[in-house]
Amino acid sequence: MPRRQVVLVTGCSSGIGRAAALEAAARGHRVCATARDIGSLSDLEGRPGIRTLPLDVTDAASIAAAVSAALSGEGRIDALVNNAGFGRYGAVEEVTVADWREQFEVNVFGAVAMISAVLPAMREARSGTIVNVSSVAGRIPIPFASPYCASKHALEAVSDALRVEAGAFGVRVVVVEPGPIESRFSDRARQGVSALLGRPGPYSDVYRNAESAMRKEFQAGVLPPEAVARVIVNAIESPRPKSRYAVGRMPRVLFALKRVLTDRAFDRAMRRALKMR
């Protein structure tokens, strides 16, 4: 029987974060479920094993307050699930620098700030698990989603360095790489691509093809968030978790192709999918 742990999860308003909080609580762990909008967690408040806290990962004071509340209320934090994030879409040259900064502010700097906030207590306990929720995009660059891909690539690089740094203190670092997930995140992703349709410019035709490809992709390979949540909690409970967990068929297929194809061949496959010359 796995020992009861205190698990802090970011981005629990929907999707993977909410599912992870529910899965961990169902297995007997004590969960601090967080979200920027605390009202979005009202239905979780009062559930056995779950405590809700407001948390904006881009606000240092909010992070400090949430981590302090978790430590004072539970006595420790055994696991951090860095899940909060969003996706920004468009061609590299058409995404503003401000939008690029916002993407990294949440997906990378927010995760790093959370890690910095929980690591002192984990180091002192010489125990803990940090789960960074990446994506298939963390290893496979997807055209017209470069801000999101770049942020997840950066999160994976942080994880690889941190795994060695924190490992000396008994802290494990795990990366989870899901394929498409049926959640509000997926809805927002489709809306983000759809918003590009009709925009005049050199990429207008390709945006239509990208939107069509995304529709087919989500219909064919979508996973429920609960599937990812089970992998996350399994990793937290494991005495020896893997460094990376690819979740779903799409990541496994694309990662295998990336290993055997040259960059030129992989680029051709991407262009064919997007009906580009």
pLDDT tens sequence across 21-75 = 999 999 999 999 999 999 999 999 889 999 999 999 999 999 999 999 999 999 9
Cα–Cα distance between 152 and 145 in angstroms, integer? Answer: 11
| % of residues, the chain, pLDDT over 70 | 88
187-212 pLDDT, tens digit each: 555 565 556 666 677 777 777 776 66
Q: What is the mean pLDDT of the chain?
A: 90
- The CA-CA-CA angle for residues 102, 104, 107, to 5°, reads 105
Measured CA to CA, the distance from residue 235 to residue 2 in angstroms comes to 11
Alpha-carbon distance of 16 to 223, in angstroms, equals 10
User: What number is the average pLDDT over the span 202-228?
Assistant: 74
The domains found in the chain, sorted by start residue, are 6-183+224-249 (3.40.50.720)
- Tokens 């927002």 sit at which residue? 188
The arithmetic mean of pLDDT across residues 6-30, rounded, is: 97
- Predicted local confidence at residue 245, as pLDDT: 98
Q: Tell me the range of 84-88, 153-157, 191-195, 220-224 where mean pLDDT is highest.
A: 153-157
User: What pLDDT score does 194 carry?
Assistant: 59
Residue 1: pLDDT over 70: no
User: Is residue 277's pLDDT more than 70?
Assistant: no
CB 194 within 8 A of CB 263: no
Task: Report residue 163 as tokens.
Answer: 């795994």
Q: Could you read off the pLDDT of 244-270 as tens digits, one per residue?
A: 999 998 888 889 999 999 999 999 988
Helix axes 15-26, 225-237, angle to 10 degrees: 50
Kindly list the catalytic residues.
13, 134, 148, 152
Considering only CA atoms, which of 256, 271, 251, 265 is closest in space to residue 133? 251
